[in-house]
Amino acid sequence: MPTGSKDSEAPEKTRFKPVYLILGSGSIGFAIAKELREMGKDLIIVDRDSQKVETLREEAYEATEGDIAELKTLKQFVGKKLSGVLVVSSDNEANKKAIKNVRELFEPDTYCVARSSDVINKQEMEEMGANFVFMPSKIVAKSISRSLGRAESMMLGNKLSEWFKKLANRTLGIVIHDNPDPDAMASALALQKIADHHEVRSKILYHGEIGHQENKAFVNLLGIDLNRMEDHDVEKFDEIALVDCAVPGANNILEEGQHIGLIFDHHPVSEVEVNADFIDVRPNVGATSTIMTKYLQELNIEIDDVLSTALLYGIRTDTMDFKRNTESADLSAASFLYPLADHEVLEQLERPSMSIETLDVLGEAINNRQVVGSYLLSNVGTIRDRDTLPQAADYLLNLEGVFTTIVFGVTEERIFISGRSNDIRINLGEILKTAFGEGSAGGHNTAAAAQISLGVFSDIKDRQTLLRLVDEAVVKKFLNAVGVEEVDE
């Protein structure tokens, strides 16, 4: 066969290149067109203003004059391989007619983006078949809020750095809440890193016990250097920082009213006066580790694998793997930390052995449960490790028909209460404050705790009598706070 014959020629290969149809060339339509062209996309612009169309053509855009609300305007593009249609004029009614015509004329999988000025029109456009509807006012508001957030973050970072510069070559005591959890310890470790960066010597101080098996594993695997407060004279430190708690004397053994240099916390705080140089309390985020990660980023401080693992685990535990009290800031911080963390250590932290006491308390919580409607309350009796209580409360929340759990136990001096809830109708932190007092109770919507001095009950010698009276008092106070008068028989 002759070399030049048509049969010997390979079939022509065509490459599909996305074409986007932009209906409306106002400020928003033109901005989108410019962005798409910079991305190398093919596009066609339609506008009813002939002068605008002429100007677009002079700038080498493919532009067509026509009313986007009319069917005949869009018919001329039938047969083109459109990847998307963007309906972005400032006229809601014209946009709705255009969406209707797009769905009538083009392939069902043609992606349609539309612009709306308000929520009602947005809903109508979505019902008509628009895949995505945006409101410019919302976008502007979000952009401004992000800009303000960035400015605030820079301001706080600069302010914190200036505070540390004044403390150079001196000492800082970093106090975390009693019986600390991974979020508190990781946040303190981050603050210690910031202190080191500014040549400030620091120690992490705690009171109570590290009883939860995961918390013990956390300290041991990461080699975190913690110091018991009883072994140090707090007054010998040049400055004191509070981390994962915000009020001296509340869930820590500092003196009430004591001057504090720095405070970082994510728990809601009651309206109390605190004598401090620098306070950053953000109840809207899920973990103090998130706050401290942002400071490390803002100050350009290098984060090693130990610190990144600690902070990531702190965020994950306090948000229950991003299922509780989670905000975009938590996800952003976790995304930043994830590639830096030691995932072998994380895997070990997630599967620690369960202590005998934890197993015993869980058994007591199951056996002693009282269910009142959707509320479950359980008195586990005498405890040594209060960290067993939240574990039991978490476990019992899995029971069918239970939306809120309250587990409580008694030590020699106090009653400890831990609560969990997935009931969107209640704020558990506020309920525990109402039931058991502002200074000794609080938390978030879904997780909260309280502690009460035994007071007059401490004189009761018979343990069974004591536990019965404690049970009656705690159950009655909680049920009154949620508006339930009697326990169902």
476 and 415 in one domain? Answer: yes
Percent of the chain at pLDDT exceeding 90: 60
Buried b / exposed e along 267-291 (16+ C-beta atoms within 10 A): bbbeeeebebebebebeebbbbbbb
Tell which of 350, 384, 399 closes a domain.
Answer: 350
Q: Is the pLDDT of residue 486 over 60?
A: no
Please give the pLDDT value at position 82: 87
pLDDT tens digits for 368-385?
A: 999 999 999 999 988 888
* Tokens 């599909």 found at: 16
468 and 341 in one domain? Answer: no
Instruction: Please report, for the domain that includes residue 237, its CATH number.
Output: 3.90.1640.10
Please check whether residue 290 lies inside any domain of the structure: yes
Please check whether residue 14 lies inside any domain of the structure: no
Please check whether residue 187 lies inside any domain of the structure: yes
Task: Give residue 7's pLDDT band: very low, low, confident or very high (50, 70, 90).
Answer: very low
308 and 236 in one domain? Answer: yes
Cα-to-chain-centroid distance, residue 227: 29
Cα radius of gyration rounded to whole Å, the chain? 31
CA angle 294, 299, 301 (to 5 degrees): 95
231 and 159 in one domain? Answer: yes
Please check whether residue 126 lies inside any domain of the structure: yes
Full domain range(s) for residue 44: 19-134
76 and 189 in one domain? Answer: no
304 and 337 in one domain? Answer: yes
255 and 337 in one domain? Answer: yes
Please check whether residue 401 lies inside any domain of the structure: yes
Please check whether residue 3 lies inside any domain of the structure: no
Tell which of 134, 160, 175 closes a domain.
Answer: 134
For the chain, give the longest Cα–Cα distance: 113
Please give the pLDDT value at position 231: 92
175 and 27 in one domain? Answer: no
The number of domains in the chain is 3
Q: Is the pLDDT of residue 3 over 50?
A: no
Q: Is the pLDDT of residue 290 over 70?
A: yes
- Nearest Cα residue to 286 out of 328, 247, 250, 257: 328
Whole-angstrom distance, CA of residue 52 vs CA of residue 24: 10
Instruction: Please report, for the domain that includes residue 467, its CATH number.
Output: 3.10.310.30
362 and 344 in one domain? Answer: no
Task: Give residue 2's pLDDT band: very low, low, confident or very high (50, 70, 90).
Answer: very low
Whole-angstrom distance, CA of residue 449 vs CA of residue 391: 12
Whole-angstrom distance, CA of residue 239 vs CA of residue 163: 11
Angle of the 136-166 helix axis to the 182-197 helix axis, nearest 10: 60
> Between these two residues, 299 and 3, which has the higher pLDDT value?
299
* Averaged pLDDT score across all residues of the chain: 88
Please give the pLDDT value at position 88: 95
Please give the pLDDT value at position 464: 82
Please give the pLDDT value at position 352: 60
Please give the pLDDT value at position 4: 46
Please give the pLDDT value at position 478: 92
pLDDT tens digits for 416-457?
A: 999 999 888 888 988 998 988 866 788 888 888 888 888 756
Q: What is the average pLDDT across 65-73?
A: 95
* Tokens 């053994």 found at: 253
Please check whether residue 407 lies inside any domain of the structure: yes
Please check whether residue 239 lies inside any domain of the structure: yes
Tell which of 134, 164, 188 closes a domain.
Answer: 134
Least confident range of 99-103, 263-267, 271-275: 271-275
345 and 364 in one domain? Answer: no
At 345, give phi and psi (nearest 5°).
-65, -40
Handedness of CA 42, 92, 130, 68 (dihedral sign): negative
373 and 342 in one domain? Answer: no
Please give the pLDDT value at position 5: 44
Instruction: Please report, for the domain that includes residue 77, its CATH number.
Output: 3.40.50.720
341 and 219 in one domain? Answer: yes
Whole-angstrom distance, CA of residue 185 vs CA of residue 183: 6
Task: Give residue 16's pLDDT band: very low, low, confident or very high (50, 70, 90).
Answer: low
